[in-house]
């Protein structure tokens, strides 16, 4: 359960970083590198979330499931 909360928190931070990059893009109009830095943070957090999901799967902390239950 803890790993699911961590991944959810990471997703919220990733979305926040993406929104801040949009704000910097609009405000700075390409005159600073704040947009690039915010997008770099987003990419780094996305890679971290992916690695955390893969590690949680291999450790048995998270189990994949389908959208629909099996019909056997």
pLDDT tens, position by position, 14-62: 999 999 999 998 998 878 888 899 999 999 999 999 999 999 889 988 8
Whole-number pLDDT of residue 44? 95
Burial class (CB in 10 A: 0-12, 13-18, 19+), 16: middle
The larger pLDDT score, comparing residue 72 to residue 44, is at 44
Name the nearest CA neighbour of 44 among 17, 23, 12. 17
Residue 3 pLDDT level (bands cut at 50, 70, 90): confident
Give the position of tokens 């902390």. 61
Of 15, 10, 19, 21, which is closest to residue 45 (Cα–Cα)? 10
**Is the pLDDT reported for residue 70 higher than 80?**
no
């Amino acid at each position: 359960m803890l790993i699911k909360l961590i991944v959810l928190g990471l997703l919220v931070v990733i979305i926040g970083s993406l929104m801040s990059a949009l704000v910097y893009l609009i405000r700075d109009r390409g005159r600073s590198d704040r947009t690039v830095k915010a997008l770099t943070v987003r990419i780094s957090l996305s890679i971290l979330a992916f690695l955390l999901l893969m590690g949680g799967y291999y450790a048995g902390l998270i189990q994949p499931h389908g959208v629909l239950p099996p019909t056997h």
